[in-house]
Amino acid sequence: MREIDQLVQVDDPAWPDIRAACAASDVPVRVLPVDPEDGRRCLLQMQVTARSALGALTLHCGGLVLDDGWVRVYGGGSESLGGLPSLGRVNRFPSALDPAWHPATGLVVGHDVLGGVFALNGHDPAGEGRPGLPGQMTWFAPDTLEWEALEVGHSAWVSWLLSDGPGALYEGLRWPGWREESAALTPSQGIAVYPFLWSEQARADLAATSRKAVPMREVLGVAADFARQAGPADPGFLGEM
């Protein structure tokens, strides 16, 4: 079990490169201020160093908001400042440091406004019904209600997001005016789409769907319920909002 100073005081920290990549990105991105105590508490529980992108975001950043709020990447949290919850809250970290605790099905590190979930695989993804290898990113697709392997680690995923990865991932899932609707949301809201994204009607004409801002927990709850009841399978933990 490493102490906080061992996790923070590292050679070649990742934060300067992440900050530079955010500044140079063609994707609109907001870097949120961090609650320092929450950030250090999350870092200590995860036992990752500031040399990694995950550790750097947790220590130095309250989260990233990309594409006018369409994608939210979690860090050390800025909820007390009106921003995003911390990785600890989203993943239900224990209230006190517990060396034996780990996220059962993987670490939720981001959400999109449609209820898509980005998670970092744990040590046995196959045993948890998740695709991909240990330490790789997966995405719970809001239009299929299935987990998909992204085949990259967390650091490469962050770089991919900043290199317009969302533009490719959400092709066919964005309608005219999506940016304005996303930008109007609060950090705790998502977009409910009806007919549902996984329906034939939505696939045939997404622009004709009805959409409204609702709490993100509601978007996630509806998707999880349908996945369990109508298939393909129980998606497991999708994050606490």
Q: What is the pLDDT of residues 163-179, one digit of tens each?
A: 989 999 999 999 999 99
Q: What is the pLDDT of residue 144?
A: 97
Q: How many whole angstroms separate alpha carbon 110 and alpha carbon 18?
A: 16
Locate the domains of the chain by residue range.
Answer: 4-230
User: pLDDT tens across 207-236, in order?
Assistant: 999 999 999 999 999 999 999 998 889 999
**E-assigned strand segments in the chain:** 29-32, 63-66, 71-74, 107-112, 117-120, 137-141, 146-149, 189-194, 210-215
- Mean pLDDT, residues 110-116: 98
| Predicted confidence (pLDDT) at residue 30 exceeds the cutoff of 90 | yes
| Predicted confidence (pLDDT) at residue 50 exceeds the cutoff of 90 | yes
Q: What is the pLDDT of residue 136?
A: 97
- Mean pLDDT, residues 116-144: 96
- Mean pLDDT, residues 82-94: 96
- HSE at residue 46, side-chain half, CA atoms within 13 A, is 33
Q: What is the pLDDT of residue 81?
A: 83
Q: Which residue has the tokens 């045993």?
A: 127
User: pLDDT tens across 187-213, in order?
Assistant: 999 999 999 999 999 999 999 999 999
- Mean pLDDT, residues 48-57: 98
Q: What is the pLDDT of residue 231?
A: 82
